[in-house]
Amino acid sequence: MTTPAYQRILLKLSGEALMGDDAYGINPDVVSRIVGEVAEVARMGVQVGVVIGGGNIFRGMAGAASGMDRATADYMGMLATVMNAMALADAMRAAGVVARVQSALNIEQVVEPYIRGKAIRYLENGRVVIFGAGTGNPFFTTDTAAALRGAEIGAQIVLKATKVDGIYTADPKRDPNAERFSRISFDEAISRNLQVMDATAFALCRDQKLPLNVFSIFKPGALKRVVMGEDEGTLVYC
């Protein structure tokens, strides 16, 4: 077997993807399929940190749009990511993968707090570490949390596993003529204002010289191909 291109990765999993074809929440079949893909790369010896989104349960922007205080709504969104993290860890346990959840918000009866050194030690010992509650701060996103945790744990790349198979010239769900980039620089992605990831996350990855790959979570085997350094999705480089 050939060697993986990366020894330590930060995988950002779309929250919205977890609902599959359902209108809301966590679809167990989808979660178990995603866990199968993560387990495959973990068993190859790749150290995996995961940041999970919350869009399948609650987004702060949606709460604010219906009149809620934005910060309150964002805290609710962060708590939604903790629920997703717990569901993911439980599915990993069922698949025989040892996972630990760490939360950026303190809810110690439920999950461990985020402690960077401990997270790194778990990774070195072959545990998958799932980071819940985003950055712990309102007005941010889990994409920014992925860039932040990726930089903190010394990941070699951030992998954004989402509902589209890469970065396009425009949102492919809205523009049928949009074309996919196989590679793009951070500077170009930022200057084109591509909405696949927020500008804070792009800028943090760029400044920390942390490459990013955007690929489809629905494409079987795509995660492994990215980890093996194959041409999959869109690579964003410094």
Ligand X SMILES: Nc1ncnc2c1ncn2[C@@H]1O[C@H](COP(=O)(O)OP(=O)(O)OP(=O)(O)O)[C@@H](O)[C@H]1O
What does the binding site for ligand LLZGTKA7 look like in residue numbers (CB under 6 A)? 15, 53-55, 59-61, 73-74, 77-78, 80-81, 134-135, 137-138, 140-145
End-to-end Cα distance, the chain: 30
- Please tell me the distance from the alpha carbon of residue 99 to that of residue 157, in angstroms, as a whole number: 20
- Please tell me the distance from the alpha carbon of residue 51 to that of residue 134, in angstroms, as a whole number: 7
Between 114 and 140, name the residue whose CB sits nearer to ligand X: 140
- Please tell me the distance from the alpha carbon of residue 98 to that of residue 214, in angstroms, as a whole number: 26
**Contact string 60-99 vs ligand X (x = CB under 6 A):** ----------------------------------------
132 is in an annotated binding site: no
171 is in an annotated binding site: yes
72 is in an annotated binding site: no
Least separation in angstroms between residue 185's CB and ligand X is: 15
Helix axes 70-94, 28-43, angle to 10 degrees: 70
- Please tell me the distance from the alpha carbon of residue 236 to that of residue 150, in angstroms, as a whole number: 15
Tokens of 18: 């977890």
132 is a site residue for ligand X (CB under 6 A): no
Least separation in angstroms between residue 17's CB and ligand X is: 6
Beta-bridge partner residues of 99: 128
Amino acid in position 212: L
**Annotated binding-site members:** 12-15, 54-55, 59, 74, 135-142, 162, 168, 171
Binding residues for ATP: 12-15, 55, 59, 162, 168, 171
Site of interaction with ligand X (CB under 6 A): 14-17, 53, 55, 142-143, 162-164, 167-168, 170-173, 194-196
